[in-house]
Structure 1
Amino acid sequence: MLPSSAAAVLEDGDLVSEILLRLPPQPSSLPRASAVCKSLRTVASDPGFSRRFRIHHSRNRPLLGFFMGAGDELRFEPTLDPPNRVPQGRFQFPIDASDRSFMLLGCRHGFLLMLRTFQETEELLVWDPFNGHEHRLAIPPGFAEKTFHGAVLRAAPGVGDTDHFQVVLVSTDVQQGVVACVYSSETGEWGNLIATPLPSGGVIHPNKPAVLVGDSLYMLLIRLEAPARIIEFDVGRQSLAVIPLPASLDSEHSRFYSVMRADGGGLGMVSLSASGGSAQLWKRKTSFEGVDSWMLARTVELDKLISHSLKSQCCLHITGLAEENNVVFLWSGFGVFMVQLDSLQFKRLPLTTMHRWHPFESVYAAGI
């Protein structure tokens, strides 16, 4: 039996919600707390509190797993251990896995973005896996019959309704260079076409998801007989820019590097050595004179984490990046290795032949 003072606290719904709000955002946190007594269960299961909990932890969302889709296969692969493990069957996919006319473009802030051909017409599908909500969008005129890449993101916490989202499409055009367009679920419309010149042409890399750093999205641009580049789209300012890679990177082998968030914030890159024994973390710096350049921030010795026998004779290459948790996924012939670049914690995941991985970082309370 609880002491009278503790019972009095649990009768105060406002105080209980403040206590629960400070639990870690792991899937088992709220279900475990709600099992203590009816008062805690009432608050934890309230939709309004769930919304507050999600917003409160919007900057430290756990990595629940990743979505994969290619050919005739679409699935969710969890990465957490019990009791926080989200079951594979938790999500009812909005399209049949046998439908070969779809491609995953990105996953962020609890949304998935897909490109789908439906009745001979291409459309975009934004899907919320937890509540099953689907939003079908027509492709804006400037992107019809073009190769483009896209990203989805939720409105910033504390600014309007966080259920609103934006979709950003980026492509290249012979006449206009790099072009972008933004859809807002709040207005239900696409904005104006945004463009910036691009000497020597190029296309957005189809297998490298966009990375969100601050208020900007970054995508890799590959070009024939010319160094690769990074496309920066500032979501707030609605502006485009083209950024070079670190000079030492081999732009022809993009599977060995990826854009990421740098240590301490800002734009960064992660690249693998030729042997796969180490990873170099780069950071974009601006000098006092306003000159931008790349610097090598640190090196991670992968050989100390992944044994040679596990790496096999297949080269490691980057198959995914969880931007909020600073986790890189490395594929080899023996499996997929998940490396947290801050703590250097290492985990081996099941081997898969699919190379389009979309990490799912979100706040989720299971079983309430």
Structure 2
Amino acid sequence: MSSLRHCPCSPPTASPLDLDDLLREILLRLPPQPSSLPRASAVCKGWRLLVTDPRFLRRFRIHHRRSPPLIGFFIENILPCRDLSFEPTLELPNHAPVKRFSLQPQDGGLFRFLSCRHGLVLIILRKRNKVLIWDPVTGNQRHIAVPPGFEMVLTSLMNGAVLHAAGDARHFQVVLIGTYQEQQDTRVVARVYSSETGLWGNVISTSVSSHTYICRAMRCVMVGNSLYWLLSEKSSGILEFDLDRESLTRIPVPLDIYAKGNGRFTVMRAEGGGLGFLFLSGYDAQLWNCKKDSDGVVSWALTRNIQLGNLLSLKP
């Protein structure tokens, strides 16, 4: 009888879903809806470990940074009491619970909503002279004292923004900005707080036209690594704060607003990137794009003139 020969057996082929690297690439491409990762985490323990890995979450945010979903918006209620309520925009299963995302009044209701960006909300607490950074998703709250140098800025003349550094979900920055009158001169002051260092940066200031203030009703716009606020109508300007250079610059608006009569206007991100300006008068809308030459000189170009009456069935 011939002896049996033992042939080495090949190891069983691993399932593609058992390969963590490949699975990460698949899960990375899930739609950026609030229910996507929680549903994936419910499949098994291995999937849960992958989708809760901070490194994976960072890649997920970067991968979808150009198409984040709008899960809702905040409404600042003035009367009968001052609070911040949340209005969800998505249907189930992505519908965000209203109570969880609504902030109850604090300090007797004396607080002001300043900014919402990158999943964080910035609020100034008037009585305590502090700013509150609130993460509505996790419920985390961080209180930071308003820095020295802002004693002369009334809270009604203060504005600000909160943001994450590019690709960094662990640390955030807070920009506080305000105006005050100094004899015959009006100055804008700004300071930047870094959660990484736990410190406020140097005071940054510039002089602007007399009796100028930052429009409270219009939130700031972020384009690239710069923040923009619309200044009061009397000055007809846009305030630019460059985060890289830590500099303040006043930019003229693209047209004589008062010569156009009654109208509404705001700063915005332009189509294709860059700073834009929207002017609305009646049923006519103008879109402008801001251009900067190598010397930093600003010019504006009218890119679109939209007749809203031809697009929408608007009643008088």
- Does TM, normalized by the shorter one, top 0.5? yes
Q: 1:180 aligns with which of 164, 187, 190?
A: 190
Residues 79-88 or 147-156, more deviating: 79-88
Count of residues in correspondence between the two structures: 296
1:58 offset after TM fit, Å?
2.8
8 Å CA contact 1:10–1:39 kept in 2: the answer is no
Deviation sequence 1:76-99 (CA, Å, 0-9, x none): 111223343323233363x43794
Find the residue that maps to 2:245 and give its secondary structure: coil
Find the residue that maps to 1:114 and give its secondary structure: strand
Matches within 5 A, 1:139-150: 139-146=146-153, 147-150=157-160
1:271 paired residue number? 279
2:31 paired residue number? 24
1:42 offset after TM fit, Å?
4.7
Residues 201-210 or 39-48, more deviating: 39-48
Residues 249-258 or 193-202, more deviating: 249-258
8 Å CA contact 2:85–2:102 kept in 1: the answer is no
Between the two structures, name the one with larger relative contact order (CA 8 Å, sep ≥ 6): 1
Q: With structure 2 as the length reference, what TM-score do the two structures score?
A: 0.83
The structure number with the bigger radius of gyration is 2
2:114 paired residue number? 105
Give the Cα separation in 1 of the matches to 2:203 and 2:259: 28
* Compared CA separation, residues 64 and 194, structure 1 to 2 (3 A): same
1:272 offset after TM fit, Å?
1.1
**Is residue 229 from structure 1 mapped to residue 234 from structure 2 by the alignment?**
no
Deviation sequence 1:145-183 (CA, Å, 0-9, x none): 5221111111111xxx53211111111233362211111
1:291 offset after TM fit, Å?
4.2
1:324 paired residue number? none
1:286 paired residue number? 292
Matches within 5 A, 1:23-102: 23-34=30-41, 39-71=46-78, 72=81, 73-91=83-101, 93=103, 95-96=104-105, 99-102=108-111
1:254 offset after TM fit, Å?
9.4
Q: 1:198 aligns with which of 189, 208, 226?
A: 208
2:253 paired residue number? 245
1:166 paired residue number? 173
Question: What runs of 5+ residues in structure 2 fail to find an aligned partner?
Answer: 1-11
**Is residue 303 from structure 1 mapped to residue 313 from structure 2 by the alignment?**
no
8 Å CA contact 1:64–1:79 kept in 2: the answer is yes
* Compared CA separation, residues 287 and 53, structure 1 to 2 (3 A): closer
Find the residue that maps to 1:30 and give its secondary structure: helix
* Compared CA separation, residues 290 and 144, structure 1 to 2 (3 A): closer
Misfit runs of 4+, over 6 Å: 251-255
Give the Cα separation in 2 of the matches to 1:253 and 1:166: 39
8 Å CA contact 1:278–1:300 kept in 2: the answer is yes
2:20 paired residue number? 13
Q: 2:123 aligns with which of 90, 114, 127?
A: 114
Deviation sequence 1:348-367 (CA, Å, 0-9, x none): xxxxxxxxxxxxxxxxxxxx
1:36 offset after TM fit, Å?
5.8
Question: What runs of 5+ residues in structure 1 fail to find an aligned partner?
Answer: 314-368
